[in-house]
Structure 1
Amino acid sequence: MHVRTLALATACGAALLAAAAAPAPPATAAGGQAPHRPVRAKAVTAADLLAKTRGCNRISRGKYRKDAGAKATVPVCAADGAVYWKADMDIACDGRKTTRCNRKTDPWFLPDTAFHQSDGKALDAARLPYVVVPAPSKIWKYPDSRIRGGGVVAVVHGSRVRYGVVGDTGPAKIVGEASYAMAESLGIDPDPVSGGVSGGVTYIFFSGSRATPIESREAATRLGRNLARAFVAAN
């Protein structure tokens, strides 16, 4: 009896030690069900955005040129929560003077932008992905579509989508211009003289949006991803 009792006690002790060493079962919510784990939202792809911008509900009174002297072929199109157009990409270097953007690298360089950083300085085209909108005209006035400086923009080229801000205004009859940093992020040659691409770029401007501060790439990307998801769901 003594031997059996000792053996039983030893076995029970071993079981208790094993139970203590075993990993605890997952916590359960009320009703005995495992708690819900949040699922990360699926990222919006270039294909998702292009699928929603195939047609065009034109809101511009006319069309824009891609370059000076070219035929006007680009309309401004409206969608739920955004406006967009499809054009080329010329390289904008205007803003803060840097080793990449200055009068030596860009004969048309201007040391200012229409919209400024939170400290009042011009934007840095070499570091900040921004897009140029045409100055208001009888063709279209960007404020009428709730587009403003710092507004978030999704730019699609090939299989890539990148987010930036409205950073400058350009000629009243031309579209298709973005900063050195935006071109570089999309794999487009960012040289302000020889770079850019002749077509295949889609610009989607999210109405009423604003990245804060305007000079934060992270703020534009974070907000842009959420707005792009809402845009795809609504259109």
Structure 2
Amino acid sequence: MRVRLLVLAAVGTALLASVMPPVAAHPSRPAVAVYGGSAHAAEGNVRAADLLAKVRDCVPVSNGRYRTDGGTRAKVPVCGARGVVYWKADLDIDCDGRPGRLCNGRTDPFFSDSTAYTQSDGRYLSAETLPYVVVPTPSRIWNHRHHGIRGGSVVAVIHRNRVQYAVVGDAGPYDIIGEASYATAKALGIRPDPRGGGAPSGVTYIAFKNSRVSPIEKRAAAVTLGRRLARQFVRGGRTAVGSGNQRPGSGR
């Protein structure tokens, strides 16, 4: 078809009008990307530097500060901007959830076979395969639910020059922040080993208010929605966008 069109173009406009079939007879590639579609790349990804520039300053929305590890000083606030909340911390490896070859009681001495949220078939999430972020259990310090953050909310996790879109998938200690799944760390180029892996600092988490991926385990949907919300955030537009239907009893 490509050769035929080139030949016709050389003949001239009049000949094209007489020999070419109507445009409607030729199917065209879709202009709008679907979940997981490669056409989305044409819209352009948001750079880590652009996102970090938007969260350079902090307007605290938490009533206090968090520790990054047990026994350390509480110095991490949760900050807010239009359509997002964010924090800058370390990244500890969460291997909890459905056990697999990489995340289980043998590889992780603190392993738990459950997560705060479940996937559409009722099973717990898989830290090995699903990029997810851990939020602190609601407390007087901060309640993520009051800021439109819940299970399935989209989070842009940034480390150095990489951005990984994840979902809120688990809840941790009420006074500690800075934890994400094995799959999140691996995608960011961080050593994902639950025994001594992770990053000691330099990780930024940007959670988009009122966003939702449903089903929560649909990794491609989190990337698609995350990219769109990140572009809107960088451009200064609204980012309060939902996605999918909420399952009964899952709005924790």
TM-score > 0.5, shorter chain as reference: yes
Quick check: which has more Rg, 1 or 2?
1
Q: Which residue of 1 aligns with 2:174?
A: 172
1:209 aligns with 2:201: no
Alignment of 1:109-120 (within 5 A): 109-120=111-122
Aligned length: 209
Moved >6 Å (runs of 4+): none
1:129-168 residue CA offsets vs partner (Å, 9 max, x unmatched): 0000000000000000000000000000000001010000
CA shift, 1:24, in A, is: 4.1
Give the superposition deviation at 1:23.
8.7
Selected match of 2:234 from 223, 232, 235: 232
Relative to the length of structure 1, the TM-score reads 0.84
Q: Percent identity?
A: 57
Alignment map for 1:108-187 (pairs within 5 Å): 108-187=110-189
Task: Check if 1:74 corresponds to 2:54.
Answer: no
SS of the residue aligned with 1:57? coil
Query: Structure 2 counterpart of 1:19, which letter?
Result: V
Name the SS of the counterpart of 2:146 in structure 1: helix
> In the aligned structure 2, how far is the partner of 1:44 from the partner of 1:72?
31
Mapped partners of 1:220, 1:24: distance in 2: 45
1:46 to 45, 48, 51: 48
TM-score after normalising by structure 2: 0.79
Q: Which amino acid aligns with 2:86?
A: Y
Instruction: Give CA-to-partner distance per residue, 1:36-93, whole Å, 9 cap, x none.
Output: x999433211000000010001011110000000000100000110000000000000
Q: Deviations over 1:84-141 (max 9, x none)?
A: 0000000000000101000100010000100000000000000000000000000000
Q: Which residue of 2 aligns with 1:19?
A: 11
* 1:222 alignment counterpart: 224
Equivalent of 1:107, from 106, 109, 113? 109
* Distance in 2 between residues matched to 1:122 and 1:23, nearest whole Å: 63
Aligned-partner SS, 1:226: helix
**What 5-or-longer segments of structure 1 have no aligned partner?**
1-17, 27-36
